[in-house]
Amino acid sequence: LALADVIVAGDVITMDSARPRAEAFALRGNTILAIGSLDEVVAACPPGTPVDRPAGAVILPGLIDAHCHLQVAGLKLLRRERELSRVLEVDEALAVLDEDPFGEAWPDGELTMDDRVDAIAAAQRLVHALGITGVIDPAASSAEVSAYQEARFRGVLTVRVVAMPYPDLDGGVDGAIATLRAPGIRTGFGDEVLRIGGVKVYFDGLGMAGTALRREPWPETGEYGTQRVSIEAFERLARACAEAGWSLGVHVVGGGGIDAVLEAFEAIAADVSLKELRFTLIHAYLEPSAENMALAAKLGVVLATQPSIQWVNGPGLVQRLGSDAAASNPLRDWLDAGVTVAAGSDAPAFPIDPRLGFVQATTRAVRDGDAPLGPEQAVTPQEALAMYTTGASWASGAMAYANRGALAVGMGADWTACSVDPLTATPEALRAATFSRTVVGGGTVHASDGGPPPYGAFAARAAAGLDPAEQAVAELATDVTTTVTDQTDSTEVIA
Ligand SMILES: [Zn+2]
């Protein structure tokens, strides 16, 4: 029998194609030991194993935001929380982030490490309340990486973070390559909670600034856009990354930029496979071609998309590009071409709320728009959920969270309980959905339903007077080494 801490029971969407729905799963520590019907799971566990029935319509794998500037968002929240001397409610926090999306995060003078750690805590409180258990920080400065590490050491960090360093290319690409190689690490370095992700490079500009690199000139300016690194330097850096086992995420928005980046990737892929490294196009929403998509699929290049950008920028793109704007962020075409798509927010510049991103991707609704923009590019709810779970997990890196994004035996116990079924709910219901519970590595990091019954290691801590959040922190601090060998016997039980 599987010695489980707890059986979690409910209507479970697993995102595991072998068993899309389940009634229960059993977990110990970080890991799922058994999943199936309630009867099967109960039979697989010793008599008396506690059963936890979280409030909510369905249980989902924890959502992963594949593009979240978590600390920048956190600083904005922290400023307001310090002004008010209290923690923000979810709707208040979302409103704070919406107030001035491109405003300076911290105009209040120098940041201390305590400020940064507090900002991480503020941001993760919000994302956990939105069902998120992991993020990719797509451009973590040295100071931000240090703060993540400090938060991890202090036991504060409960959201799984994949932090992407971005080298300074102004001093030349060789200096950047030397800097990356110096510590002798590569993508995947870290632990279950905090890892170093791929290298981040900015190739072109922005869609709404008219600086994304297009194939045709921008109608207003007659310019093609901005290229921020020469193709020669870019290819050298990308090749150095591939050869050293670094993943690479490239900020590239316009079709001309996407052409150039993929051409460089194709040249490198002749020598080094990029698929396992999860080389990624970040944004790539403006006029990607069918050839781009086919090539990305062939090379195993991931698309990191942000439906939130389309939500905000859609009307502005119509003004600039007319009817061509309807084809922007063509998620339907990317999926049909066979590309793995990871969804994220690009918060705090764009809305952090995954409910909004999910609805945008499935309806093509845009802010202030009377009608959907390019409705033929909508994806199904199942596909949208995959972008926020399995797709984002894949993009997180081969070494990082390969065991996240789905609920199955041997996978990590990261889950959330949602008040609606996202596969069947109306967009309106989904926008109003709440998450009663969010669990990372078996530890509750958000509970609006009174929290879990005490079980396993938690019971002892509850007896010691720790609250659920503190328990989760303690669990994450100590239980980061659960190995897959723990599940061998339970696999057999259920099989
Ligand atoms: Zn970004």
> Is residue 484 over pLDDT 50?
no
Q: How far is the CA of 333 from the centre of ligand 1 (A)?
A: 23
Helical ranges in 198-250 per DSSP H: 231-244
Q: Which tokens belong to 111?
A: 């940041």
What is the average pLDDT across 370-398? 94
Q: How far is the CA of 283 from the centre of ligand 1 (A)?
A: 9
> Is residue 129 over pLDDT 50?
yes
Q: How far is the CA of 2 from the centre of ligand 1 (A)?
A: 42
> Is residue 471 over pLDDT 70?
no
CB proximity list for 241: less than 8 A, separation 6 or greater: 180, 198, 199, 247, 248, 277
Q: How far is the CA of 68 from the centre of ligand 1 (A)?
A: 7
- State pLDDT tens for residues 197-234: 999 999 999 999 999 999 999 988 999 999 999 999 99
Tell me 424's DSSP state. Answer: T
pLDDT bracket for residue 482 (50, 70, 90): very low
pTM (two decimals): 0.91
> Could you give the dihedral angle defined by the CA atoms of residues 106, 108, 111 and 116, in that order, rounded to the nearest 10 degrees?
-50
Q: How far is the CA of 67 from the centre of ligand 1 (A)?
A: 6
- State pLDDT tens for residues 402-421: 689 999 999 999 999 999 99
Sheet with 280-286: strands ordered across: 199-202, 248-254, 280-286, 302-305, 341-343
Nearest to 157 by CA among 485, 483, 480: 480
φ/ψ (deg, to 5) at 94? -65, -40
Q: How far is the CA of 411 from the centre of ligand 1 (A)?
A: 28
Supply the pLDDT for residue 475.
55
CA distance 157 to 194: 8
> Is residue 491 over pLDDT 70?
no
DSSP 103-161: S-S--SSPPPHHHHHHHHHHHHHHHHHTTEEEEEEEEE-HHHHHHHHHHHHTT---SEE
Q: How far is the CA of 428 from the centre of ligand 1 (A)?
A: 27
CA distance 431 to 354: 9
- State pLDDT tens for residues 420-456: 999 999 999 999 999 999 999 988 999 988 777 655 4
Q: How far is the CA of 137 from the centre of ligand 1 (A)?
A: 8
* Cβ atoms of residues 389 and 15 within 8 Å: yes
